[in-house]
Amino acid sequence: MALYRLIYVSQAVAGLEYPDLVKILEKSELNNKKVGITGMLSFGDSMFLQVLEGSRRVISQTYNRILLDPRHVNAELIDFSEIEHRDFGAWSMKVVQLGNQAGIRDIILKYSSSETFSPISMTGKQSLNFLRELTELYQRGTTS
C-alpha cells in the first residue's frame, strides 16, 4: 500500500505544560498503533513540529482530528508526500521536548538562523532533516 508523510507546524496555546504533552503522547501512541501511523512530535519554544507516516486515509483522518485540538493553534502544513519507506518507523509516536539535552541545540542551530526553535521558518526539507537527525540522536541512545 502506498505510504505517505505529512509534516506540519503549530503553536501551542499559552499554559501548555509537560503533563499536557504526556497526555498527547499517550493518546497518540494508542490511536496511531491501531491504524499503523508512525512519527515524531517535537515541542520547543511553544511550537510543535510533527511528522506522521502511514496510509493516505489514516494520515488524513488523524490530521483532521489534530487540527480540531484546542491545545494548539495556527497549524501550517509543511509537507505531504508519497514516500518509499518510513523514516520514523520505530515509534507510533515519539514526543521530544526540545531543551538543553546533549546535541539538541546543535541540531536546532544547524537548521535555523538562531538557537530558538522556529519550525515555521523551515522549508519542508529542513524540517524533515531536522526530525531525521533528532531520530538518529535518540536511536543512538545518547539522549532520552
Q: Minimum CB separation from ligand FMN for residue 41, in Å?
A: 5
Per the structure block, which three cell numbers stand in for 38? Answer: 508512525
42 contributes a contact to ligand FMN by CB under 6 A: no
Per the structure block, which three cell numbers stand in for 122? Answer: 523551515
135 contributes a contact to ligand FMN by CB under 6 A: no
One of 4, 6, 7, 32 touching ligand FMN (CB under 6 A) = 32
In the bound state with ligand FMN, the residue whose beta carbon lies nearer, of 106 and 118, is 118
Binding interface with ligand FMN (CB under 6 A)? 24, 27-28, 31-32, 41, 48, 50, 52, 62, 65-66, 69, 71-72, 93
